Amino acid sequence: MERYNPWWIGEEDENFQNWQQKQIKWIPDIIEKITLEPFSLHFLTGPRQVGKTTTIKILIHNLLENGENPHNILYYPCDELINFQELGEILDNFISRQISRNSSITIIILDEITFVKEWWRAIKSRIDQNLFKKSILIITGSSSIELLKEKERFPGRRGNGQDYLLLPLSFQEYTSLFLKDLVISSFNSSLTVEQIIQPNLIYKNRIQALFQDYLKTGGFPIPIQNFFNLKKIQMSTKRTYLDWIRGDLLKFKKNETYMKEIFKYLLESRVSPISWLSISKNTSINSPHTVNAYIETLENLYLLNILYLISPEKQIKYRKNKKIHFIDPFIVKILSEYTNSTVLSENLVESIVASHFSRIYPTFYWKNHSEVDVVLLIDSILIGFEIKWGPKRWKKPIHLKKVSVLEKDTIPLFLASIKWH
């Protein structure tokens, strides 16, 4: 355990040191949100390579800076463990050590716990034995499929625990890296697009230039660092993220050939509404049910969002065609290269806008005689947004009282002017 907890012997963590030395770095707001009141069982999820481990190491550093006893903090990466018995042994050793030291509050961080088979058994049994009554447990994982499924095994056993989701940087957060606190960000659904972007018009040219960079890097840390330092994204970085995607899909026993065909179909569908049947007819996958399972896996790995059609009566039409949006432009970049697919800028931008809205509101779309790219359900009111990156005919539907049109010149400013969390 000692090698993962260098603060026990008065040394700085290497991961934190590496982060501290970077010219471009940020502190996720999750650090300020995590409740450190015992007993708590927190779950922190998000895609791989998004910075969960670095976030945890920043949190640990802040605790130590604020006077927390180093010996009260346990960090353990679970990718080397096989089963819940091994995890239980780690926990028992630490608990025994704390009891012998007559410690007060302990903070236990278990990173990427979904590598451990039946991990929940080690946690649940010790909660029931009251061994964590003075503890804050923070459990991280990159797959909502496994982690959030097992979370349901803890009814009434989480104390002050909360769920936290770490996503790639939104464009507002990305802009803040370079313009610091100069950009004013908020959102009020009663305001017009013009009113929302007005405070930041003075930075219009700079924000639009940053948006072109964001289309290349997305909000993942390593591509951002690459682009800032080298003005390009290294092939090794692209391989790292592609290997993560392929590895996780193999972990869930998904056929790589099928998966590659699905990626290609989604990318070339140009974010048009599609069905599982249409995918199965245009790939070597025979069953729409199989397609559904693959898409759900991709959603649970935080790779894409599914937008369902919502009716004027606010009914969600799950059986109708869906619009699929990848959550981040860098994901689109590596998958388009992987599948040799062409993605139009206007479709990429629509996915960025839709995915940003999906962070804060239930997000849908509408299509009948007319179409609205994004429809939000806010306080039982439907609010539409139409994205126009290039020439596009469009007619406002009668049932939506408020629809805003986001155009090429306003989209970067609009995205930079809203806090997306």
Same domain, 152 and 177: no
The model's confidence at residue 370, banded by pLDDT at 50, 70 and 90, is confident
Q: Which two tokens stand for residue 137?
A: 């447990």
- For the residues 110-138, what does the mean pLDDT come to? 93
pLDDT in tens, 90-111: 999 999 998 888 877 899 999 9
pLDDT of 291 over the 90 cut: yes
Q: What is the DSSP letter of 51?
A: S
Together in a domain, 286 and 400: yes
Q: 196-219, pLDDT tens digit by residue?
A: 999 999 999 999 999 999 999 999
Indicate whether 42 belongs to any domain. yes
Question: 374 is in which domain, residue-wise?
Answer: 171-416
- Looking at residue 212, its pLDDT comes to 97
Q: Are 161 and 181 found together in one domain?
A: no
Of the CA atoms within 13 Å of residue 286, those in its CB half-sphere come to 0
Is 29 found in the same domain as 81? yes
Same domain, 216 and 158: no
CA distance to 49, 77, 189, 217, 263, per residue, from 245 (Å): 11, 20, 36, 17, 11
Q: Are residues 147 and 196 in the same domain?
A: no
**How deeply is 282 buried, as exposed, middle or buried, from its count of CB atoms within 10 A (0-12, 13-18, 19+)?**
middle
Domain boundary, last residue among 165, 187, 220: 165
How many domains are contained in the chain? Answer: 2
Domain boundary among 165, 200, 218: 165
pLDDT in the model for residue 144: 60
Q: Measured between alpha carbons, how far is 142 from 21 in angstroms, rounded to an integer? A: 26
List the end-to-end C-alpha distance of the chain, in Å, as a whole number: 35
Same domain, 270 and 130: no
Residue 81 lies in a domain: yes
Q: Kindly indicate the confidence band of residue 401, based on its pLDDT and cuts at 50, 70 and 90.
A: confident
Place of tokens 């599948």: 339
3-state secondary structure 294-323: HHHHHHHCCCEEEECEECCCCCEECCCCEE
Are residues 177 and 39 both part of a single domain?
no
Q: E strand or H helix at 44, and its extent?
A: strand 40-45
* pLDDT tens-digit readout, 24-54: 999 999 999 999 999 999 999 999 889 999 9
The reply to whether 160 and 238 lie within a common domain is: no
303-337 pLDDT per residue, tens = 999 999 999 999 999 999 999 999 999 999 999 99
Q: Are residues 269 and 331 in the same domain?
A: yes
CATH no. for residue 82?
3.40.50.300
pLDDT at 182: 76
- In the block, tokens 């729409």 appear at 288
421 assigned to some structural domain: no
> Do 296 and 392 have their domain in common?
yes
Confidence of residue 143 (pLDDT cuts 50, 70, 90): low
Q: Beta partners for 384?
A: 375, 403
Do residues 156 and 79 share a domain?
A: yes
Above 80 in pLDDT, residue 161?
yes
- pLDDT tens for residues 230-263? 999 999 999 999 999 999 899 889 999 999 999 9
Contact in structure between 288 and 279 (CB atoms under 8 Å)? yes
